[in-house]
Amino acid sequence: MAPGDVILLVDLGTQSLRGTVMDRAGHKLARWSVPVTTIRAGTCAEQDAREWRDGLRTLLEWLGRDHQLARCLRAIAACGTLAGTVALDERGEPLRPAMLYSDARPARCLPEIEATAAFQVVSQATGWRANACDLLPQVLWLAREEPDTYARARLLLDSTGYLNYLLTGAAWMDTYTQFTCYADPFSGELPRPLLAELGLDAGKLGQPAVIGSVLGTLAPQLAAACGLPPCHIISLSYDSMTAYLGAGLHREGEALDISGTVTSFGVRRATQFLDGNRRVYSLPFSGSGDWLVRGSTAASGASLEWARAELMDCDFARFDEMVRSSPPGARGLVFLPYLAGERAPLCNPDARGAFFGFTASTTRSDMARAVYEGVCFSLRHIQSVMESGGVRIGTVKLAGGLAQNPLLNAIKADITGKTLVPLLDHELTTSGAAAIVGRALGWYESDAEAACVLGQGGAPVLPDAANKAVYDRQFQLYTMLAEQLTPLFLPSEAYPVAPLPPVESPIQIG
């Protein structure tokens, strides 16, 4: 290898901070991972941004110890999760934990945003709605609920912006994160009229950065401490958008399903799609003039993990055995996977999960299968809204951790009726980042070439017609339940909670 032959891609997820060294042929030459801790209490979901900082430093030091790789390093690119607001003081130190996209507290700020004249102009043109998982509601929540922290903050950055701040010493906000602040999609600027109407300081946010642009070079002090050359830092967006941009969606109707803790679904379309009820939305796609029609669930993989740990108390191999022993349709049992509210198409942070259809003959295996099916029904619910508005959905590529489960993929194909193509490298955020960086460095002449090198698909998964007929009937019940239960979905504080009786601790201290 020669200098300039490799890149480092950093991906911050909900469970770990990962670093991958790749070459232009897509070979993964080294991989490291540092765990991160999520703090959950009620509707709060946070992580300590100092863990991100220390983890990033650890990844860079590990790379620096491999002298052959380090001398060949040409660029670093980092992405985090959606939002993940970090408040930094004058010294660049975090003032409080970072708010994750799953934190529901900013939901109380949505009516204030929706009521502004500036937001209504943007919403009418785009069909967007304010969501608690977005950056601007988190910033507004800090301003309203923790005014001292907001006042002390010199910078308020999303997780990707914070990683780039650590790498370059400058504050940035990528194009798609600007959209989570409800910026005009055609302006390339921060939504200053909206920020002014809400009384928020635009100076606390990062300066706009185009995806794939060079933000600068690795901060000299950091480079020297870690034994790395002064390489370029390339701009990415948050994880799911980075995956979409590198997924090789070249033609109208090509779609991508990224399923991990949550599911994000998007399909390429030549024209903008405006849903009158704002259940799904469109974003300009990759500067091509086309659009990405998107919708996301709130708890797909999270629902599976909950069921595995809390209901079945088994590993996933045993869980899959139970699913296989129940017939398609789970003998009429339906599961609504609304364990963290629901995003598209309900857009209701107060939605609650439910089982419906228990009988005396219902088995644990039926419950396990109903959970798998419920997660797939939630995806079909998004697709049905898109298709009812004339959006064509063709072959769907699969990525994310759940794409590794062949049984779940087969059920998903049967329920949606789509041909699915699991990508050979399910870590699409990393390969998507490689595609963006490779294009920026001139490694690939086109997005198609990058996708050909980095995003190859496996054997297609075809729907079974007999199973789909069963699921068509079950899906009608699923959507009916979602509609009929909506009036019962109340904020957490509306549910009475009896205090638990005191329990004597079996552990004696002292």
pLDDT tens-digit map of 301-314: 999 999 999 999 99
Residues 263 and 225 in one domain: no
Residues 229 and 305 in one domain: no
Residues 306 and 209 in one domain: no
Give domain status of residue 509, yes or no.
no
Residues 216 and 259 in one domain: no
The values of phi and psi at residue 33, to 5°, are -145, 140
Taking every pair of Cα atoms in the chain, the longest distance, rounded to a whole number of angstroms, is 70
Residues 208 and 135 in one domain: yes
Query: Residue 417: is its pLDDT beyond 50?
Result: yes
Give domain status of residue 103, yes or no.
yes
Give domain status of residue 496, yes or no.
no
Residues 341 and 479 in one domain: yes
Contact 404, 426 (CB under 8 A): yes
**Packing angle of the helix pair 428-441, 447-454 (nearest 10 deg):** 140
Residues 229 and 327 in one domain: no
- Dump pLDDT digits (tens) for 140-177: 999 999 999 999 999 999 999 999 999 999 999 999 99
Q: What is the mean pLDDT of residues 452-475?
A: 94
- Dump pLDDT digits (tens) for 371-392: 999 999 999 999 999 999 999 9
Q: What is the mean pLDDT of residues 248-272?
A: 95
Residue where a domain terminates, one of 199, 216, 237:
237
Give the Cα separation of 349 and 130 in Å (integer): 12
Contact 320, 405 (CB under 8 A): yes
Give domain status of residue 63, yes or no.
yes
Q: Which pLDDT band, with edges at 50, 70 and 90, does 339 fall under?
A: very high
Which one, of 46, 44, 42, lies nearest residue 94 by Cα?
A: 46
Query: Residue 505: is its pLDDT beyond 70?
Result: no
Name the DSSP class of 100. Answer: P
Residues 340 and 218 in one domain: no
Residues 454 and 481 in one domain: yes
Query: Residue 87: is its pLDDT beyond 50?
Result: yes
- Split into its structural domains, the chain has a count of 2
Give the Cα separation of 298 and 342 in Å (integer): 5
> How much is the pLDDT for 509?
34
Q: How many CB atoms lie within 10 A of CB 500?
A: 6
Give domain status of residue 506, yes or no.
no
Residues 458 and 400 in one domain: yes
Residues 153 and 14 in one domain: yes
Q: Which pLDDT band, with edges at 50, 70 and 90, does 448 fall under?
A: confident
**Containing structural domain, residue 441:** 249-488
Query: Residue 496: is its pLDDT beyond 80?
Result: no
Give domain status of residue 439, yes or no.
yes
Segment of 176-190, 417-431, 470-484 carrying the highest mean pLDDT = 470-484
CA 169-175-177 angle, 5° bins = 80
CATH code for the domain of 302: 3.30.420.40
Residue where a domain terminates, one of 186, 217, 237:
237
Give the Cα separation of 168 and 147 in Å (integer): 28
> How much is the pLDDT for 504?
46
Q: Could you give the dihedral angle defined by the CA atoms of residues 317, 37, 108 and 148, in that order, rounded to the nearest 10 degrees? A: 180
Residue where a domain terminates, one of 237, 266, 297:
237
> How much is the pLDDT for 302?
94
Give domain status of residue 383, yes or no.
yes
Helix (H, G, I), strand (E, B) or coil at 292: strand
Give domain status of residue 499, yes or no.
no
Query: Residue 506: is its pLDDT beyond 50?
Result: no
Query: Residue 508: is its pLDDT beyond 60?
Result: no
> How much is the pLDDT for 460?
97
Residues 78 and 223 in one domain: yes
Give the Cα separation of 119 and 195 in Å (integer): 10
